[in-house]
Amino acid sequence: MTTRLEVESAIKQLPEEEVRNLAKWLQEYLDEMWDQQIEADLASGKLDGLIAQAEADIANGSDQDFGVVV
């Protein structure tokens, strides 16, 4: 199996455009992994407490605007 150091060495030999394409692919891969983890956590109930607390905060009017734009 290829080691991380071997991968790093190979990346350093790529033209800049290929490195940028690889970086874009890697970010998409990480995003997909994150989505899968969230879905698994939702399905397993790990987020139930946080969801219930958020719903209670909204119902009580105690939710806060943290400046997050969705």
Q: What is the DSSP string of 16-66?
A: HHHHHHHHHHHHHHHHHHHHHHHHHHHHHTTTHHHHHHHHHHHHHT-----
Q: Which residues of 45-60 are buried (b: 16+ CB within 10 A; e: fewer)?
A: eeeeeeeeeeeeeeee
Q: Say how many domains are in the chain.
A: 1
Tell me the pLDDT tens digit for each residue of 10-57. Answer: 999 999 999 999 999 999 999 999 999 999 999 999 999 999 998 988
The pLDDT-based confidence of 66 (bands split at 50, 70, 90) is low
As a dihedral over the C-alpha atoms of residue 60, residue 65, residue 66, residue 68, rounded to 10 degrees, the angle is 120
**Residue 6 is assigned to a structural domain of this protein:** no
Which residues span the domain enclosing 40? 25-60
pTM above the 0.85 mark? no
Residue 10 counted as domain residue: no
> What pLDDT is recorded for position 58?
87
Residue 29 is assigned to a structural domain of this protein: yes
Is 34 inside a domain boundary? yes
What is the CA 56 to chain-centroid distance, rounded?
A: 26
Please indicate, yes or no, if residue 16 is contained in any of the structural domains. no
Q: Is the pLDDT of residue 5 over 90?
A: yes
